[in-house]
Every structure is written in C-alpha cells, then in structure tokens.
Amino acid sequence: MYKLITLLLITLTASAQMPIPALIPAPQTLEPGKGTFVITAQTRLAILTPVADIRRMVIDNLPGIPTSDAPKLTKAITVRLAPIAGVGPEGYDLVVTHAGITLTAPQAAGLFYGLQTMRQLMPVAKTFRGQSVPALHIRDQPRFGWRGLMLDVSRHFFDKAFVKRYIDQMAQYKFNVFHWHLTDDQGWRIQINSLPKLTEVGAWRVPRTGSWNEIESPQAGEVPSYGGFYTQDDIREVVQYAQQRNITIVPEIDMPGHMMAAIAAYPGLTCGKKQVLVPTNGKFYKLEDNTLNPCSYGTYLFIDKVLTEVAKLFPGPYIHIGGDEAYKGFWATCEECKTTMTVNNLKTVEELQSYFIRRVEKIVQSKGKKLIGWDEILEGGLAPNATVMSWRGMKGGIEAAKQGHPVIMTPAQFCYLDLYQGEPSAEPSTYSMARLSTSYSFEPVPDSVRADLILGGQGNLWTESVPNNRHAEYMTWPRAFAIAEVLWSPKNQRNWPDFMKRVEAHFKRFDTQEVNYALSVYNPIVTLKKHPMGMMEVTLGHELPDTYLYYSVDNTVPDDHFPLYTQPFQMPKGAERIKVIAYRNGKPIGKMVDVIIPKVVEKKVQ
C-alpha cells in the first residue's frame, strides 16, 4: 500500500503543471506544460551541427552534460539550427517535455539566447546534472535589434577582468551591444601605437578620494599614478570574449569635446595649444579648453591615426564619436576658426561643429564603419549617414528619425544608471533620480516616428561617482533587468508586479554569483511639498505593491507599532525629521529612510 501511494504521488507530481518560471527578459510566448525533465547521468547532449564554434558555445553553456552523436537518442537535450517561420536571427524555439529538451534556432545568435533561457530555468550551478527543467514551450525573439549597456571607463578605470565579468552579466539577460566609453577628459584608456603619449600621459592622473565635484584639482609637481589603459592585445581579447556571447562592442572615442586627457598628451590639438594636466574632476569646464581645434589640418590627421587603429581592433559596424557637451567658446575667439567659418560660409559655432562631424564621418566611413554620436550632433545640421543616440530626453531622437536617420533611444531619465535609484539619504552620493519602476516604464518608440528607425535602446553607466567594481554592479542591477525586458519583450506584456516577482527570484541567482545588486526598490519614498503658508506636507510611497509604511516624526526608530501611513499629512511644528520603514508580509523590508525636514518660515495670516 505504501509503495502504491508513493508511486501515485510521483505520478501526480510529474503530471502537474509547473509554476511559470521567473525569466528575465520575459519571452514572447510561453506555454507551460506538465511535469519536468530531469537531467541525469544518462542524459546526453546532441548538437546537430558540425560548426565548431557553435558546438563549443553549447557545451560551455550546458556544463557537465556529455555530448553524443549517436542516432535516436532518448532522454536527450537536442540543439539544432533550422528555419522557424516568423522567427528572426536572434529568435529560438524551446520545447521541454518529460522525455527531453529540443532547442531550435535559425542562427547561432538564437541558439545562444535559447541557452540563456534554459540556464534561467535551472538554479545557478557549475554542472546541471541532477537539475529539473519545467515542461514548457517557448517561442521567442527580441523586439529590438539594439539592446545595449554602456560602461564609462574613463572617469574611473575598470580592468579587463571586470569588463569581461560585466559582459557575462549582460549576456545572461540577452543584451547584445556593449558600448565601451574609452576616452574622456579624465582618462584615455586605449593604446594607440602611433600616438604613444595618449596612454603614457593621458591614461594617468593624480590620485584623489571623495565626492567628484568637491575633490581638489591636480597641482603642479604631483605625480600622476591613478588610472590605467587597455593594450591592443587586451582589446582583442575582450572583443573575442564578447563575440562568443553574441555581444558587439561599440567603441567610443569622444570628440570634439571631452578631450582633455588627449590634450594633456598633445597640447597642439586645441586652439590655444596650452599645456594642461589630466583633470581629476569637471571643475575646469569652460575655464580650460577641452575641445579639439576643428579648423586645424593636424586635428584630422590625429583623428585619422586614432580611428585607423580603433577600426582594426573592433570588427563591429559602428564607431561612436561622442559629439556631446562640446563647449564652443574657445572656437569663437580662435583666428583659425574665424578663417574657416568665413571660407566655408559658416554662420555659427554650431554650424562649425556640424562641419567637424561631417569631416569625421568621412574618416569613419573610410575605415569601413558607420558613425554614431550623441544627440548634440544634430546641432548645426546632421551628418548625412549618422546614427543618433538620444540622451537628452526623446526630442533629439524624434528629430533625427523625422530626418530619416536611425536612432538609439537612451533618455537619461529612464536609462542613466549613475542616477539615484532610491531615497538619496539612504544611497551613495550622486544626482537626480531614476528608480527601477521608472526604468521599467521606458518606451523607446514615440508615437510620432517610424518604428523601423528606432534601432533600440541602452542603459548608460557614467562613473564620476562610481569608483570601483562593486559599486558599478550596484548601480547597474537591477535597473538593467528593466532595460533588458523593455528592449526584448513585447510591449503589451509589460507587468510591473509580475516583473518584480521575477526580479526577486533573480536576486537569489545573483547572490550565488556574488553580484552586488542594489536593494533600493525596497526602500520607502518620501516626498516633501512646501505649502504657501509655510507648512511642510509629507507624502509617502513605495515602488512595490502590498507594502505598509510606518513612520515617526519624533526622531525615534519606527516599527509596525508606529503610525501607519494612509494619506499625506503636515509635519508637526518643531519636527526636524521623518523616519519611515516599509513592511511586507509582516516583516520589515529595505532600509529605514531618515529624511531631515528643511526649515520653513510660517507665514502669518493677514
């Protein structure tokens, strides 16, 4: 009788429909099945293609499962290349039953993403032997072809090992573009053999610790010892590493502005030809000339040398030339530029920047590449074949698309990963705000433009306030989960409560991988509003549903025995701070938020 009951329980368990798995990004379609497929010591991996790179990719992503070329395998994991009606090059079809797993894709990219989905169906492990995979059928492909993250390695240098780790994290969530911001005012990070001073001088600055906007500028006689750069062999290694994970690297060499590190190495690149030091902060802006001289033949020789070597190192189709935040005040007083503007009938310095970008585009095209720039390259007229990366809201992208140019949407309010992601009093110092829920609400395609001109979008991690590897991860995740889903999954499937359940499951995966993600989404939100009569109104909120907020205004530490927030209220006279804690399922979550109330002057009623 006992054996009969046990057998019945096993049968019922195997035939029961499993919970929908926590996948990020959510697939296009998912039909749950009944039961599971268990990977045992007898399970074999059948890779139905002779292409060595694909076979290696499959084996690397399914460790611990022996391969077999025997015909008619049972209880096997079968991986094959084959056309699928209506599925593009990055799409795939995944079928899991109790009898086996079949992954089909039209191209290697689709196989790679199907493998990432398979990996998410199981716990993080060095080997998948003994794991159970829920029965299901997934048909999946991305909404956008450009799904990127940008890492600024100029403001602080991140070594090759971390860059590869970052690429690994991206690949898990189906990002396919790594935008590598290699140069800026505070550091030149790529070896250029024909211009050795770029890294001998430009890769190093004097060491400083502290808030970016408050640290001291370099002083004469100090030894530059903080920084670093990637050799060309390093670059080749990282490029190959990314290619193996279906990630294209887009290098950025920022010009004509943000060039102070290069100017420190070669002062003749500017109008004033003044010797400068590699800066430690951004205080010099508009006081010192950090822009290339767009009217000097030598500038274009310099750019040609740099881009010749860059183009050989990066096989992808694009080179990003920046084009942002170029202060043009020094151009306006430059005799060379006055002559160039007269000869070329340029009326404004904005038109002079357009003249520069158009000349640079010809250099980029001569290397067999396409030019991308930040939306400032629209100023003065857009180069004929440029792709625009819109960061100052959506306006630049809309304008470029209306002119028929391809666009990558990356508006700061949704996509800048260096912004605060929670109550500033509980976060490391930075600026502005982009909460996880805000990033999840990002919609790359405005109603007023052709959808086919929006290539996709990306998140951007600027690193003025990100001095180390662990903090780079903290600022990236989980907001990059949101961006990954926005760029991959169908728009009509977006569901914030469901997304958060999946995010919490992936927090556990990151715990195993020792990724330093942020828990800011658990923290209360405090909004203060000063009324005309001088009173301060407090509104409390939270990003998660089913949370309860308890608060104190007497400088004591609240718990669930304190007042429960139900509606906005006025701070009592004399109260100096409000402390708030969130509870969910009867337990505190996140940090207690402690906000100092600004002093207000009450107005007397006349």
Q: Which positions are catalytic? A: 325
Residue 256 preceded by cis peptide, ω within 30? yes
Encoded tokens for 215: 């640290």
Local structure of residue 487 (DSSP, 8 states): H
The alpha-helical segments, DSSP class H, found in 317-375 are: 329-332, 335-343, 349-366
**Matching residue, tokens 């402690």:** 594
- β-strand 536-541 against 548-552: which pairing, if any? unpaired
Alpha-carbon distance 485 to 90, whole Å?
15
The whole-angstrom separation of Cα 399 and Cα 182 is: 27
**What is the sign, positive or negative, of the torsion defined by CA atoms of 168, 173, 174, 177?**
negative
Residue 517 C-alpha from the chain's centroid? 13
Helix orientation angle between 232-243 and 160-172, rounded to the nearest 10 degrees: 10
For residue 142, give the nearest of 486, 499, 494, 493 by alpha carbon.
486
SS3 at position 309: helix
Contact between 245 and 173 under an 8 Å Cβ cutoff? The reply is: no
- The vertex-240 CA angle with 507 and 117, nearest 5°, equals 35
C-alpha angle with apex 125: 124 to 131, nearest 5 degrees? 95
The token pair at 523 is 């923290």
d(CA 102, CA 335): 69
Which of helix, strand or coil describes residue 252?
strand
Q: State the Cα angle at 330 between 325 and 336, rounded to 5°.
A: 120
Q: How far is CA 327 from CA 202, 290, 352, 376, in A?
A: 20, 8, 12, 11
Strand partners, 45: 67, 77
CA distances from residue 37 to 65, 77, 114, 131 in whole angstroms, order as listed: 14, 10, 16, 8
Indicate the helix (H) or strand (E) that contains 154.
none
Q: How far apart are CA 114 and CA 93, in angstroms?
A: 7
**Can you tell me the distance from the alpha carbon of 318 to that of 315, in angstroms, rounded to the nearest whole number?**
9
Taking Cα atoms as reference points, which of 115, 112, 59 lies closest to residue 248? 112
Report CA-CA distances (Å) from 441 to 262, 431, 492, 523: 39, 20, 12, 19
State both tokens at 560: 């669930």
